[in-house]
């Protein structure tokens, strides 16, 4: 078995396989086995036993999430139930789902079908960000192929399981990645988060039980069904099962997407990218994308999984490792992130709508050498008052303030130098 089971069947040019080609590579064998040999409860238990955690950022146990959906769906009675696939992927530094959408659409579709069978969904809706048009086209072609082959529709393979599937093109906003905003977007409304409870499993798309899963999460499911929970757990270096798609970008010689065992260290990933660019030293890195806290050289050997990075004071997020070298200005990096999050806020609640543009302006002033001691005080005020989870309607503000908080703690000398009117690094 390949050491990169999730991506080993992807072609170098990312061209997707036809249905016939995918079947010759073992495609849809897991679906056939599940419909013949496993009950929905068996499938939920298998995925729960595998230790698969959601790959969209939160890291919630997938099997547990499915179990909650089954309970809510039973309470809701007859009627449609939905699986929504989150292919929005707009976290700064993240580009893992693009490969899976473009090169391996049948793998994702099979995973979505297995998930739908497990949770009792009657329709799968794959939301794909507007910029990922090649991925959306690959999915649409694949759906037509499996419909023609009789794997979608009524009474699939004589199992009594019926399912429909379609692609929904997103207008392309970061906030759509939040699961309740995603549901609003599919319904045709303004994509803003919803109050919880009720949770989507209780009342989601059009008021019916709904589960939202990430592209990478669902792409793992056929492999678990085909090879077993023990095999999947054994791929990892830690107790969190499977391999992980790590995207490495920033000041490395060869930015790339790497499939590696869950728990691989940042040091190893950076070395696989040819090391720090031009032989320079590492200044810091964000292990999980733009909304995660900075770590430094002392944390290079922390296993890159949800639990270990949380203990280290950061988060795995989407596994998007962003590297800063000794010539990278942390203030400039944080300011870029702040401008992005301020622009992408839905504007529903005051901390995001008013606070993020304010934070962005303060950071721009610092970067330009126009800040004062009051500038740092105001930034710290936002960190303290708006940064903690629960202070805003969703977690966008918390994520946006995480690199600000981390930067103020770890790079106080750089911030102080900016107050004096110069950047000690010299460039971003």
Query: Of all residues in the chain, what percent carry a pLDDT higher than 90?
Result: 85
Query: Going by DSSP bridges, is the β-strand pair 210-214/164-169 parallel, antiparallel, or unpaired?
Result: unpaired
The answer to whether the beta carbons of residues 211 and 65 sit under 8 Å apart is yes
* d(C-alpha 240, C-alpha 305), whole Å: 7
Checking if the pLDDT of 428 tops 50, the result is: no
Q: Domain range spanning residue 266?
A: 243-325
Judge whether 269 lies within some domain: yes
pLDDT in tens, 174-220: 999 999 999 999 999 999 999 888 999 999 999 999 999 999 999 99
317 and 357 housed in the same domain: no
- 267: pLDDT strictly greater than 50: yes
What does the pLDDT look like over 271-307, one tens digit per residue?
999 999 999 999 999 999 999 999 999 999 999 999 9
Whether residue 169 contacts residue 186, with contact meaning beta carbons closer than 8 Å, is answered with no
Same domain, 66 and 129: yes
Same domain, 276 and 214: no
Strands (E), 251-306: 256-261, 282-286
- Residue 360: inside a domain: yes
Q: Which two tokens stand for residue 49?
A: 């036993």
> Is 8 a member of any domain?
no
Q: How many domains does the chain have?
A: 3
Span 64-112, pLDDT tens digits: 999 999 988 888 888 999 999 999 999 888 999 999 999 999 999 999 9
- CATH number for the domain harbouring residue 340: 1.20.1440.230
211 DSSP β-pair partners: 83
Same domain, 173 and 292: no
> Of 195, 211, 234, which residue sits at a domain end?
234
Query: Cα dist. 114→32, 41, 224, 266, 387 in Å?
Result: 10, 12, 11, 33, 38
The reply to whether 30 and 52 lie within a common domain is: yes
Q: Which of 234, 255, 289 is the last residue of a domain?
A: 234
User: Is 161 part of any domain?
Assistant: yes
Long-range contacts of 135-140 (CB under 8 A, 24+ apart): 135/87, 135/97, 135/98, 135/101, 135/102, 135/105, 136/101, 136/167, 136/169, 138/16, 138/101, 138/102, 138/103, 138/105, 139/101, 139/105, 139/108, 139/109, 139/167, 140/167
Query: Is residue 425, in this structure, part of any structural domain at all?
Result: no
- Secondary structure element (H or E) that encloses residue 165, with its range: strand 164-169
Determine the longest span between alpha carbons in the chain, in angstroms.
73
DSSP three-state, residue 304: coil
């Amino acid at each position: 078995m390949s050491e990169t089971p999730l991506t080993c069947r992807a072609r170098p040019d990312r061209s997707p396989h036809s249905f016939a080609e995918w079947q010759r590579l073992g495609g849809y064998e897991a679906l056939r086995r599940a419909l013949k040999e496993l009950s929905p409860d068996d499938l939920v238990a298998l995925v729960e036993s595998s230790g698969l955690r959601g790959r969209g950022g939160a890291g919630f146990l997938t099997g547990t999430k499915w179990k909650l959906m089954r309970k809510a769906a039973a309470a809701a009675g007859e009627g449609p139930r939905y699986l929504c696939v989150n292919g929005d992927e707009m976290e700064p530094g993240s580009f893992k789902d693009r490969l899976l959408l473009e090169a391996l659409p049948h793998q994702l579709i099979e995973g979505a079908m297995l998930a739908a069978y497990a949770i009792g969904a009657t329709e799968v809706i794959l939301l794909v960000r507007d910029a990922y048009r090649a991925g959306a086209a690959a999915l649409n072609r694949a759906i037509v192929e499996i419909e023609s082959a009789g794997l979608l529709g009524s009474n699939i393979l004589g199992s009594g399981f019926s399912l429909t599937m379609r692609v929904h093109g997103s207008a392309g906003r970061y906030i759509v990645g939040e699961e309740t905003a995603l549901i609003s977007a599919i319904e045709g409304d303004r994509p803003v988060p919803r109050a919880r409870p009720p949770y989507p499993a209780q009342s989601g798309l059009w008021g019916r039980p709904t589960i939202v899963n990430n592209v990478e999460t669902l792409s793992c499911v056929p492999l678990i069904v085909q090879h077993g929970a023990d095999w999947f757990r054994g791929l990892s270096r830690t107790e969190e099962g499977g391999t992980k798609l790590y995207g490495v970008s920033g000041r490395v010689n060869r930015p790339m997407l790497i499939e590696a065992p869950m728990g691989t260290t940042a040091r190893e990933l950076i070395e696989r990218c040819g090391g720090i660019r031009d032989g320079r030293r590492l200044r810091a890195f964000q292990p999980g994308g733009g909304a995660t806290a900075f770590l430094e050289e002392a944390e290079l050997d922390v296993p890159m999984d949800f639990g270990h990075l949380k203990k280290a004071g950061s988060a795995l997020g989407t596994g998007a490792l962003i590297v800063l070298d000794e010539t990278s200005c942390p203030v400039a990096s944080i300011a870029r992130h702040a401008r992005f999050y301020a622009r992408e806020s839905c504007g529903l609640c005051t901390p995001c709508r008013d606070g993020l543009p304010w934070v962005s302006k303060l950071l721009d002033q610092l970067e330009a050498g126009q800040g004062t001691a009051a500038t740092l005080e105001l930034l710290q005020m936002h960190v303290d008052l708006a940064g903690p989870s629960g202070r805003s309607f969703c977690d966008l503000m918390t994520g946006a303030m995480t690199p600000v908080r981390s930067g103020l703690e770890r790079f106080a000398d750089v911030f102080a130098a900016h107050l004096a009117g110069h950047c000690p690094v010299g460039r971003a």
